[in-house]
Structure 1
């Protein structure tokens, strides 16, 4: 009986100690959250990157400057173990681009070539249009039936808070050129993958590679795509298109990282970040200077604490997200470390307010998560019942390798108005909402870094989702 009472007393003491630890963590997280709401670090990083460096296309001189900028920024903000990890990445450079409606009347069309598109002949090409209102309509056309035609796809994108319309509409850009080529088309124009009604066209990567048969491809602004749709309903339409571009097969890119070293278990690492590269048509403010800024500023605020959290926080500025490669390169460089990467997260949907937290399955009952939910609630962030299905392009390699991932879901309602355009500029960033992002990342990542939560164990123990 005495032993039983002793065990009960020990258990109660342990519970009190654990409770006090989480209470202290909550107080620290709340202070970090509130400090972040008034902090200018993320804004200053976004302003500096977009102004000092500008557009950051992989393989360009600007991207090399961005690499050096990243190293200097990490060191200036107090990060340690700053690394530059180089990987091979062929680069693509845009050249002269133009499009002209030839019939039923002459009119200049405002286009932008899709990223990695092949070029037209130097003199351009001219042909009759085969217009399809959806990608599926074009796919239904038999192989060879579009021989000699310029295909136009006018499928719109649906506006949604979670950006769900992007994946559906984006297939026209990602696979359209290859599928149109199979059916004999000589070029492809798509309605921009956009939620705006602007004449400004949106670029974005399309299928490419040595084993890919593609055709010259570009995007139109929304009103011009709608105009072509109306004209095609009335009769024949002809377009002349000219696209020039070059590829350097020997180019390189870099993933750059810096750390806030853990105080107790520094070999356990939380990886967060955004992508440093951007398309060449704008200054890449929302995509993704703000993502780099949010995660860097969050880690910096945590690093300013008198005592660092238990685990190491590593911020990665990924070097080739827009045309791919940085995710695979990062995993290849860190294979031996993967079991010690306890969590990963990426910010890459602009900087409008975060409205939801997604976590690995089975972890919602852990005290650290319960504390995080309470700390995030004043920011109007709720815990999503669904685990994070895809937390970001640059950490998808980590996710595939079994690293647990989280998602801090941003409101994407207006993100795709500016995404991949010359309008993706600093004046589209809302400072108050940017600060809310930093507050969420700072408080949440601190709590995870100062905890013992093991997402792998919790996920493995979680019951399987019910089948329907």
Structure 2
């Protein structure tokens, strides 16, 4: 009797269940073209020319600055010059932070200057006080509340280099969370060893935030040699520092995401999105972070446009606004295109310098894993391995992924990326043209095959997760 009652219910449930998605595959005709595309891409210098143009003609592109506006105009003109079928921009509004001047020095018996830079988002002000050194963020967090009253907190955490940049999680946490923790302990200023892996006397900037309800204090990063110097002085006895920053927030600013599109031959409303961020910090010329990504993705799409047969779907390149201060362009794009999540076949961002790509994966579901493996096979001649259990979305892709767009991951070798990251040393001469061309080839092959796939990679709308 119970079996008889359950049978209709099971049948109804079976009928109501969605049919499994058909397996996604890459057509043989598309795969057959990839040898020629790889060869052309490796010999093409468009990516280098784009990076050279952006870093030379615009230079540093701090979000909200006059150079930000020039970079937007540059990107519009460059997309047109490269032959993109459609070019448009979308507004991104955010608070504007300005850096005007910054100085620090040891005072007293061992008086000497220190190489520092204000953290993005820091308030201005001048403080002079004894420094209290902590080896890491956990040690600062363990200090008693109020124990740093009238002192400057100094977190001396040494970030470790890694090909995948994994050391940045801990190094970046000092920058993002350290000032607020220091304020809770009573500190009137905050210093940190730069979140970097070099030994040059160039400090690394980057955004910080103050928790709501706290009175901000001046916050800065020391170059790594200067952090070593300050640590040695602190080991000898009490040491005081004078920190003077002239910086801060100054109203609102509207920049733009700039978008160029190569139209697909049969499903033009569907897109494979590749992109990078257009803004940079103001110390260098933003070459590896992230003019390289702009050059890689623009050049890859241009090469696809020149193919004898375009892919079925469109290739969309997004030059994102203000990634550096909180993925603001990426968030704005995800919000503006929230109704078109399923139309985004795959999305990938180049934002980890210009080192050679060594691994590939996507976040695709089971029905598209074979297609992911096919793309990986076409990338293998470029020295790129298939890493089916690794990867994740690039920074500006995170808001799209949170809404349901499937990510793709082309892993760049970042062994020396944090030697340059957010410093005055981030300049064009640090980029290897051959490595850049390998990146262009990888993005061109990936984007073409994803756009020509028979079937989808699983993008589907879902409720957006809390903002990253």
Q: Same fold (TM over 0.5)?
A: yes
Deviations 1:175-218 (A, max 9, x none): 11111011110111100101111111100111158755432111
Name the structure 2 match of 1:109.
Answer: 114
Displacement after TM superposition at 1:20 (Å):
12
TM-score relative to the length of structure 1 = 0.90
Correspondences of 1:212-291 after superposition (within 5 Å): 213-291=215-293
Matched-pair contact (CA < 8 Å) for 1:191–1:219: yes
User: In structure 1, the residue corresponding to 2:120 is in which secondary structure?
Assistant: coil
Question: Given the two structures, how large is their TM-score scaled by the length of structure 2?
Answer: 0.90
Shift of 1:364: 8.4
In the alignment, the residues of structure 2 paired with residue 172 and residue 73 of structure 1 have an alpha-carbon distance, to the nearest angstrom, of 38
Q: CA deviation at 1:326?
A: 1.1
Query: C-alpha displacement at 1:250, in angstroms?
Result: 2.1
Pair 164,19 (structure 1): closer, same or farther in 2 beyond 3 Å: closer
Kindly state the Cα deviation for residue 248 of structure 1 after the two structures are TM-superposed.
2.3
* 284-293 or 445-454: bigger deviation: 445-454
2:170 corresponds in structure 1 to 168
Q: Contact conserved, 1:29 with 1:444, CA < 8 A, in 2?
A: no
Per the alignment, residue 10 of structure 1 pairs with: none
SS at match of 1:338: helix
Contact 1:270–1:313 (CA<8 Å) still a contact in 2?
yes
Tell me if the contact between 2:24 and 2:455 (Cα under 8 Å) persists in the aligned partners: no
Deviations 1:147-202 (A, max 9, x none): 11111111000110000000111111111111101111011110010111111110
Indicate the residue corresponding to 1:335 in structure 2.
Answer: 338
Matched ranges for 1:57-456 at <5 A: 57-120=62-125, 124-208=126-210, 213-324=215-326, 325-363=328-366, 366-389=369-392, 391-456=393-458
Shift of 1:284: 0.0
Q: The residue matched to 1:92 in structure 2 has which SS?
A: strand
Deviation at 1:370, TM superposition (A): 3.2
Q: Could you say what secondary structure the match of 1:88 adopts?
A: strand
Q: Which residue of 1 aligns with 2:8?
A: none
In 2, the alpha carbon distance for the partners of 1:436 and 1:295 equals: 12
Conservation of the 8 A alpha-carbon contact between 1:104 and 1:236 = no
Distance 1:366 1:30, change over 3 A: farther
Q: For 1:104 and 1:369, locate their aligned partners in 2 and report how far apart those are by CA, in whole Å.
A: 63
2 CA distance for matches of 1:19 and 1:336? 23
* Residues 397, 102 of structure 1: alpha-carbon distance in 2 compared, 3 angstrom cutoff: same
Distance in 1, Cα, partners of 2:321 & 2:70: 12
1:56 aligns with 2:58: no
Distance across 1 between alignment mates of 2:25 and 2:454:
15
Note closer, same or farther for the CA distance 1:286–1:146 as it changes in structure 2 (3 Å cut): same
Give the match's secondary structure for 1:273: strand
The two structures, once aligned, show a CA RMSD in angstroms of 2.1
Displacement of 1:289: 0.1
Aligned residues between the structures: 439
Q: Which residue of 1 aligns with 2:16?
A: none
Gaps of 5+ in 2: 1-22, 463-468
Is the alpha carbon distance of 1:44 and 1:208 closer, same or farther for their aligned partners in structure 2, counting shifts above 3 Å? farther
Q: Which consecutive segments of 4 or more residues in structure 1 shift more than 2 A? A: 18-23, 208-214, 361-371
Equivalent residue for 1:11? Answer: none
In structure 2, C-alpha distance between the alignment counterparts of 1:411 and 1:222, rounded to whole Å? 22
Displacement of 1:444 in angstroms is: 1.1
Deviation at 1:362?
3.6
Q: How has the CA–CA distance of structure 1 residues 448 and 212 changed in structure 2, closer, same or farther, with 3 Å as cutoff?
A: farther
SS in 2 for 1:332: helix
Asked if the contact 2:406–2:459 (Cα under 8 Å) also holds between the matched residues in 1, the reply is no
Q: Secondary structure at the match of 1:326?
A: helix
Give the deviation of 1:103 after TM superposition. Answer: 3.3
Deviations 1:220-277 (A, max 9, x none): 1111111211221221010001000142222112101010111111111111100000
Query: Relative to 1, partners in 2 of residues 1:274 and 1:208: Cα closer, same or farther, differing over 3 Å?
Result: farther
CA–CA distance in 1 between the matches of 2:402 and 2:164? Answer: 22
CA displacement 1:309-337 (0-9 Å, x = unmatched)? 00111000001100021121111111111
Which whole-Å deviations, capped at 9, do the CAs of 1:368-403 have from their partners, x for residues lacking one?
A: 3333222211111111131433x2111111010010
In the alignment, the residues of structure 2 paired with residue 20 and residue 108 of structure 1 have an alpha-carbon distance, to the nearest angstrom, of 61
For the residue of structure 2 that corresponds to 1:456, the secondary structure is: coil
Q: CA deviation at 1:416?
A: 0.3
